[in-house]
Structure 1
Amino acid sequence: MAAGGELQLLGSWYSPYVIRAKVALGLKGLRYEYLEEDLFSKSDLLLKSNPAHKKVPVLVHGGRPVCESLVVVQYVDEAWAGTGPPLLPGDARDRATARFWAAFIDDKFFRAWRELFRSTTDSQRAEAFRSVVPRVETLEQAFMECSEGKAFFGGDAVGLADIALGSFLVWIQVVDEVSGTKLLDGARFPGLAAWAERFLAVDAVKDAMPEFERLLEHYKGFLAKLASPAAPAGYS
């Protein structure tokens, strides 16, 4: 278990990417100092730690930064391999599969869902929802194949692909609330719907997730600004 001053996590409370890092650290039982970042007025520490992208999360371990959420999750798993549950499987092919689906979530699912997230009219939301559903269909099939009837993408325990997708779950709920949609409909996607309930019940996940009502108000404020002539640069 890391000493309190050894690990720092630079993040923003509403970022699903920061949630990934928090879940990984929580599953490993690691103590760390959390530093909240204002993404519209970034700290010198963030700019110094991640000069390439200037984004969160950044995990600072012993004064050295590790950037990008999926990289952070894998770093935590490797650096504390003997602590807590493994986040990646031992078999090389299974590790490759987990990394493939984590990349799919960011490259395909998120890019489609982001259009729903940024929609401000009913017509935009309807079109965006139709576009993201095929990505969810692919993930439903992937879950059935990867889990082999077990609780998570990673089998019996939460793994990389679970963290990658699960970090969006409260955001998905918030967008559904505003849009009048139900993306992980249990009738249409029974595997993912049941998986989401199990994932959100994990203690390390509950500790990492933002509170629904707070996130809902934050999202409504974002949409109001997005609809104004001077739209914010965040969430791109």
Structure 2
Amino acid sequence: MHTLYYFSGTGNSMHAAIELAKRTNGKAKPLLSVKDTSLSGEVGLIFPVYMNGLPKPVEAFIRQADFSKVTYLYAVTTHGGVPGKPEHYLKHLLEKYHQIALDDYHAIEMINNTPKGVAPKFLMHLDWETEITAEKRHEMLAREMAAIDTIAEAVNHRSIGFKEALVMGINKISWAGKLMWHIDSSPKLIFEVDDTCTGCGICEEVCLSNRIKLLDYPMWADMACYYCYACFNFCPQQAIYVKHYKKKMGRYHHPSMAQEAIASQKLLD
């Protein structure tokens, strides 16, 4: 059995998981809707890099899951050009809570689609939307497919490249990187909406943390946010914004992933 568990806010990781599953005789499952976390067989974890780390629901899934019957474990992350080293924090969590090793790790560069409203303005990349051109999307899709083909070959051959690299002293993480693990990296992100909102409800539909409630306008409840930016990127009016970023010059989600696909990750009662 080969299962790929994914989390995806704007479709990059979801699309990668689906395409990788096709090439490896696997089954892609959204980790948010997994009720039985007793994992077994070959397992892949597919998710985006958030603040050089793991999305909160991915971290929670790893802590809660039972890996005792897993025979091969790998991870694939998607990123917008600054991958960081999330594989080492993932390795740390797996060893701490399950005494299991990560066999292999891969990263896929996609498109940066985050206005980074949690960072000081001088550290932000405020013109990210100018890079999301038709040409850049075409380049991204070609790059993604090539990367997935390479990853699929590694998975099919049960590569243990990450484990071997650690033994050889390659791909180390610095002491400063380890220090970051002990700092609360949860951003205090505040979403707002302007008067162009039509009340269509898409933001509520794609909110993976279920904190958006639509009245006349969307309201963000004072509860945990996954910082996936799905509400921001799927708003057809570009009416949703964050601190330092109110421009309406484009949003992004994976070309093959519609809002219904993103919403389908949520566990239904």
- TM-score (norm: length of structure 2): 0.31
Between Structure 1 and Structure 2, whose CA radius of gyration is higher? Answer: 2
- TM-score (norm: length of structure 1): 0.34
Q: Which has the higher strand share?
A: 2
Q: Which has the higher helix share?
A: 1
